[in-house]
Amino acid sequence: MPNIKSAKKRLRTSERQYQENRPVRTRVGTMRRKFLETLEAGDRAAMTEAFRAYCSSLDRAAKQGVIKKNTAIRSKTRAANKIRSLS
């Protein structure tokens, strides 16, 4: 446990930020998992829809500051490359 007043406050704020960011991170992970499942299934229409939802969740998370912008871009690029490798 922190003893200094500012460290106590930092503990409170970091815990609050963690609680606020956790659902956003979970949503991104869920969309990624759904995208990868449709990728393995091979259904083209469902794959593009899942890719669109995954990109949207990444963009929202980056906009809210939960993940960095370049992390979102890198993840979207890797997902797009996986789709390209199938064709």
R_g of the chain, CA atoms, integer Å: 17
5-86, CATH topology level: Methane Monooxygenase Hydroxylase; Chain G, domain 1 (1.20.58)
How many CB atoms neighbour CB 31 within 10 A? Answer: 21
Does the pLDDT at position 1 exceed 90?
no
Do residues 54 and 36 lie in contact, with contact meaning Cβ atoms separated by under 8 Å? no
Report pLDDT for 8: 95
Taking residues 52-72, what's their average pLDDT? 97
The residues spanned by each domain of the chain are 5-86
Dihedral of the CA atoms 69, 75, 77, 79 (nearest 10)?
-150
pLDDT at 86: 86
Q: What is the pTM of this model?
A: 0.88
pLDDT in tens, 18-41: 999 999 999 999 999 999 999 999
Q: Among 40-44, 70-74, 77-81, whose mean pLDDT is lowest? A: 40-44
